């Protein structure tokens, strides 16, 4: 299983791949590769899903240099690149300080 430092390093280096779902969301939500790199470099795990449907995964919170909060759900499975399952800006109506579900 990947560790958070491995995931942070891969995201910062652009060593990530998208699920089909995540690729659609990146385009819809106008999230740039640079934003993913910035937010990913400092991301923290806010939820863990060890029994997730396809593989153990977790929800990460990262903040871009411009202050944009991003949630990434990523797979913890060992691979050459971190797989981003989905990515979005947390809705303040659903999240307290982007870290805790309401």
Averaged pLDDT, 18-30: 96
Q: Report residue 31's pLDDT band, with 50, 70 and 90 as the boundaries.
A: very high
List the domain range (segments joined by +) for residue 55.
4-93
Is 68 within a domain? yes
Is 42 within a domain? yes
Q: Supply the pLDDT for residue 40.
A: 98
Rounded to 5°, the CA angle 99-62-41 comes to 145
Q: Report residue 3's pLDDT band, with 50, 70 and 90 as the boundaries.
A: very high
Number of domains the chain is built from: 1
DSSP assignment of 23-92 equals HHHHHHTT--HHHHHHHHHT-EEEEEETT-SSS-EEEEEEE-TT--EEEEEEE-S--SSEEEEEEEPPPT
Is 47 within a domain? yes
Q: Supply the pLDDT for residue 56.
A: 96
Is 49 within a domain? yes
pLDDT tens-digit readout, 42-67: 999 999 999 998 899 999 999 999 99
Q: Supply the pLDDT for residue 32.
A: 98
């Amino acid at each position: 299983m990947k560790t958070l430092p491995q995931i942070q390093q891969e995201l910062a280096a652009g060593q990530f791949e998208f699920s089909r779902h995540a690729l659609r969301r990146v385009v819809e939500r106008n999230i740039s590769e640079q934003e993913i790199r910035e937010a990913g470099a400092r991301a923290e795990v806010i939820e863990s899903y060890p029994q997730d449907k396809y593989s153990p995964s977790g929800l990460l919170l990262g903040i871009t240099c411009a202050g944009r909060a991003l949630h990434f759900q990523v797979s913890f499975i060992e691979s050459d690149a971190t797989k981003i399952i989905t990515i979005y800006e947390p809705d303040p109506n659903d999240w307290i300080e982007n870290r805790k579900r309401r």
